[in-house]
């Protein structure tokens, strides 16, 4: 029983094709994962910036009310000053 040269070449070409197809799809998946990771990092950074902005705004309101306790603006500070029109 002899193996034909065409059979060996076709098997070899099929194996090479499968190898490069797997590499191509892994590259595409890696590219998508990296772009998703970058988008997730950007969203997380934006969330932290917004959280920091809200925290600084609350601290400024608390400082303003603490400073105005002796003045006539006490009625403004007796209200819930965290509810800023949301």
Q: Does pTM top 0.95 for this prediction?
A: no
Whether 18 maps to a domain, the answer reads no
Whether 3 maps to a domain, the answer reads no
> Number of structural domains, the chain?
1
Whether 40 maps to a domain, the answer reads yes
For 47-73, letters b (16+ CB in 10 Å) and e give eeeeeeeeeeeeeeeeeebeeeeeeee
Whether 64 maps to a domain, the answer reads yes
| Alpha helix segments (H runs only) across the chain | 5-67, 74-78
Contact between 64 and 84 (Cβ < 8 Å): no
Q: Which residues, other chains included, contact 84 with Cβ-Cβ below 8 Å and sequence gap of 6+?
A: 57, 61
Point out the residues of the chain with pLDDT beneath 50: none
Domain range for 62 is 29-79
Whether 46 maps to a domain, the answer reads yes
**What's the pLDDT at 46?**
96
Whether 33 maps to a domain, the answer reads yes
């Amino acid at each position: 029983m002899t193996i034909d040269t065409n059979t060996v070449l076709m098997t070899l070409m099929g194996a090479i094709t499968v190898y490069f197809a797997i590499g191509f799809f892994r590259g595409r998946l890696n590219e998508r994962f990296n772009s998703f990771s970058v988008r997730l990092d950007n969203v997380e950074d934006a969330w932290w910036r917004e959280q920091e902005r809200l925290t600084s705004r609350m601290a400024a309101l608390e400082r303003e009310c603490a400073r105005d306790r002796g003045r006539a603006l006490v009625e403004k500070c007796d209200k819930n000053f965290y509810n800023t029109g949301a």
